[in-house]
């Protein structure tokens, strides 16, 4: 027996690839008019990012019509590989023993072998060989006799291509290999963050991500294309129309599942989906984005979670968020159909776009939160970030919707009793106020707003809007013509730091910039809202009169009592305030709106013991109830990729001002910078988080 060790280049992305190892006797036998025996071929089938290597004989040909074979759309189908035997008579002079037979193939697939170490796939909890695109790996081929290059024909077929390559080492480390992330939420004026365990290397996650594509019946040939993979993933991460991974719920009722705020990462969600074959309940935008990020990174596609503050959901695709007001300044909820989300999370995936003109590759928006239908399914993207910035919304996929999310105008319109509409004011800078993601190599925030849009007022910003309009974005013609002149009075308001369960103040300011004396009739509305901007109920309503002397400034303070909002609070403790004022002498209408996120208590995580791979550590999670009411049906979840598997514990109730503790023993198996993440949810209090950074040392023998 002889062997040959050769380097091989991976072909492409997430597709069943084939290395055809063809051997035959001397080519001198291949003469015109003589019998030409078929080459004996050993076909090594495997996945590139992820990769599964298998040996098989040549596959059977596909026939048309009634003999047609079903398309190969499942990795599971490769477990039963076909075999082919040579049958029939062999011509004289042909000795099959002269053929070079492949007797075995060694894949060097152990975690410590060079293939996994060089390809940075040793973190996967998977015993298959997993290699990355565009980088050589080694296989050893055993033959039945010594290989003679003068006599034997040996061929390895491969193609080199990589549609998702990032040339920056730190960015590859962050956007492909980092299994812990940070997701930003809250409000533009009060940005909050929470850690999320992507867990793309955890045991079973690779198979779960492949199952997602199997469930979508995605043909294996299409899995080489990151455009198709991300578009299929965008549809499959939500369960809106295809029995995908997550059921979305925004009604604050989660009796049949887990509240979205309770999840600490993607691992539990994906494993439950694969094991039960049913959608998991429940998710909201940051959960969809977190799970989708795991899916993309697990398959080797660089990906990151992005948060857009004041994100527009433009129902009538006119690049305007139309807020209709009654003549007294109150919001007309029947006419107001558009909504402004306090924030919205989506994903960006890095890939080339050979289907678009040069220059529109790179980061692409992909969004799995089910908002609008795209080609018959609830999905969004991939849409080129560069195309969105420059207004080229004609490029696929779903660029007009994403453009509206970050570029719409906020238009206040008075609906008069005679049926006419008057545009009172236009806010061109409110939507897409800030777009952020996690910084590379740290947990800080990175402002990427300028990758989506030019600065307000720049010539490039006007040109981008004109380009979008040219390509079909609809904008009513009556907006600019009906806009009233600027008022002499300027109104604004602010909300002081609001802590859950406590009173706080709202301060409204009026500035008269004219030599005239004015009186104003002001209206304040306080609402409990979902983070999507949809109001649940009005908890505060107040009217007051204001007198402004010439060139004067005046403040009005409104006290918001805890008892007014606590009984009706929703998932993320959002309060939305809308203030309108009418200048009686000029009939000008002033309007401002702001949201505030109540400060919520945190979980405290402590660790005892040696922080080393293979050593036991005791993790303690502690929470003190600061409210004046008893918390019931309290669930605490704890997770830490590479440190401990996800766990949870229930407490029947927590009395006011009392403290509960929960201890768990864990044994880390991954060294380096790690993190413990905890969440708490109850019947009346949610979105309670805690986290602890750890530095896990290697064992001395490693």
Helical H segments across 543-701, by residue range: 562-565
Query: 130 and 51 in contact (C-beta within 8 Å)?
Result: yes
Residue 236 backbone dihedrals phi, psi, to 5 degrees: -80, -20
- How is 429-468 classified by DSSP, letter by letter? SSTT-EEEEEPTTSSSEEE-HHHH-PPTT-HHHHHHHHHH
Listed residue (522, 519, 521, 523) closest to 585, CA to CA: 519
Residue with structure tokens 């040696």? 610
Query: 261 and 571 in contact (C-beta within 8 Å)?
Result: yes
How far is Cα 190 from Cα 598, in angstroms, rounded to an integer? Answer: 10
- How is 308-358 classified by DSSP, letter by letter? EEEEEE-TT-SSEEEEEE-TTS-B-TTT---EEEEEEEEEEEEE--TTS-T
- The tokens describing 639, both together, are 């997770």
Residue 505 backbone dihedrals phi, psi, to 5 degrees: -115, 150
- Furthest-apart CA pair in the chain: how many Å? 114
Listed residue (623, 670, 614) closest to 651, CA to CA: 623
- The tokens describing 246, both together, are 């997550």
- How is 215-255 classified by DSSP, letter by letter? HTT--GGGGG-HHHHHHHHHHHSB-TTT--SEEE--SS--T
**Which active-site residues does the annotation give?**
285, 344, 367
| Peptide bond just before 397 cis, omega within 30 deg | yes
How large is the C-alpha radius of gyration of the chain?
Answer: 31
Listed residue (19, 49, 63) closest to 154, CA to CA: 19
Listed residue (618, 657, 658) closest to 638, CA to CA: 618
Listed residue (109, 133, 105) closest to 41, CA to CA: 105
Listed residue (673, 621, 667) closest to 643, CA to CA: 667
Helical H segments across 12-162, by residue range: 114-118
How far is Cα 388 from Cα 368, in angstroms, rounded to an integer? Answer: 18
Listed residue (321, 324, 325, 365) closest to 340, CA to CA: 321
Helical H segments across 471-535, by residue range: 478-482
């Amino acid at each position: 027996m002889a062997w040959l060790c050769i380097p091989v280049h991976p072909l492409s992305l997430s597709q069943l690839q084939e290395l055809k190892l063809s051997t035959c006797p001397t080519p001198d036998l291949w003469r015109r008019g003589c019998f030409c025996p078929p080459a004996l071929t050993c076909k090594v089938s495997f996945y590139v990012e992820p990769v599964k290597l298998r040996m098989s004989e040549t596959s059977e040909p596909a026939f048309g019509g009634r003999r047609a074979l079903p398309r190969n759309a499942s990795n599971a189908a490769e477990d039963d590989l076909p075999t082919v035997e040579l049958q029939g008579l062999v011509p004289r002079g042909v000795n099959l023993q002269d053929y070079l037979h492949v007797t075995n193939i060694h894949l060097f697939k152990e975690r410590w072998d060079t293939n996994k170490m060089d390809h940075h796939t040793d973190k996967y909890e998977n015993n298959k060989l997993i290699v990355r695109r565009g980088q050589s790996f080694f296989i050893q081929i055993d033959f039945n006799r010594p290989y003679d290059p003068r006599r034997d024909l040996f061929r390895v077929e491969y193609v080199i291509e990589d549609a998702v390559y990032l040339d920056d080492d730190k960015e590859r480390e962050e956007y492909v290999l980092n299994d812990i992330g940070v997701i930003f939420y809250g409000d533009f004026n009060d940005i909050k963050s929470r850690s999320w365990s992507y867990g793309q290397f955890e045991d079973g996650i690779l198979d779960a991500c492949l199952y997602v594509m199997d469930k979508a019946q995605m043909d294996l040939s299409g899995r080489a294309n990151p455009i198709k993979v991300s578009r299929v993933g965008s549809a499959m991460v939500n369960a809106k129309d295809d029995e995908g991974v997550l059921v979305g719920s925004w009604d604050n009722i989660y009796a049949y599942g887990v509240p979205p705020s309770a999840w600490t990462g993607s691992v539990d969600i994906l494993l439950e989906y694969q094991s039960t074959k049913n959608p998991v309940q429940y998710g909201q935008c940051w959960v969809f984005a977190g799970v989708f990020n795991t899916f993309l990174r697990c398959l080797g596609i660089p990906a990151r979670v992005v948060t857009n503050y004041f994100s527009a959901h433009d129902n009538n695709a006119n690049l305007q968020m139309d807020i209709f007001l009654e003549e007294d300044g109150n919001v007309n909820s029947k006419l107001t159909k558009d909504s402004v989300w306090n924030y919205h999370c989506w994903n960006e995936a890095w890939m080339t776009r050979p289907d678009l003109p040069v220059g529109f590759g790179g980061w692409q928006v992909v969004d799995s939160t089910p908002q609008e239908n795209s080609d018959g399914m609830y999905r969004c993207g991939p849409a080129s970030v560069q195309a969105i910035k420059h207004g080229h919304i004609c490029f696929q996929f779903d660029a007009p919707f994403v453009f509206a999310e970050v570029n719409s105008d906020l238009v206040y319109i008075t609906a008069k009793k005679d049926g006419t509409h008057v545009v009172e004011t236009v806010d061109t800078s409110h939507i897409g106020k800030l777009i952020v993601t996690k910084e590379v190599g740290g947990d800080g925030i990175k402002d990427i707003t300028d990758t989506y849009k030019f600065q307000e007022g720049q010539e490039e910003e006007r040109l981008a809007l004109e380009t979008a309009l040219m390509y079909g974005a609809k904008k009513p013609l009556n907006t600019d013509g009906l806009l009233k002149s600027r008022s002499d009075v300027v109104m604004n308001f602010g909300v002081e730091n609001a802590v859950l369960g406590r009173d706080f103040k709202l301060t409204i300011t009026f500035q008269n910039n004219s030599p005239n004396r004015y009186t104003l009739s002001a209206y304040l509305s306080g609402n409990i809202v979902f983070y999507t901007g949809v109001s649940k109920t009005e908890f505060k309503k107040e009217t007051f009169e204001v007198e402004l002397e010439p060139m004067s400034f005046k403040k009005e303070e409104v006290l918001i009592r805890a008892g007014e909002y606590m009984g009706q609070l929703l998932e993320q403790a959002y309060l939305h305030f809308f203030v309108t004022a009418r200048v009686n002498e000029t009939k000008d209408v002033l309007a401002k709106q702001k949201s505030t996120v109540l400060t919520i208590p945190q979980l405290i995580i402590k660790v005892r013991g040696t922080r080393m791979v293979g050593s036991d550590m005791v993790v303690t999670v502690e929470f003190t109830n600061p409210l004046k009411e008893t918390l019931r049906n309290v669930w605490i979840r704890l997770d830490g990729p590479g440190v401990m598997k996800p766990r949870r514990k229930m407490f029947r109730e927590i009395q006011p001002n009392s403290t509960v503790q929960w201890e768990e023993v864990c044994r880390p198996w991954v060294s380096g910078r790690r993190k413990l993440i905890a969440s708490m949810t109850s019947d009346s209090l949610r979105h309670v988080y805690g986290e602890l950074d750890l530095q896990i040392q290697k064992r001395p023998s490693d």
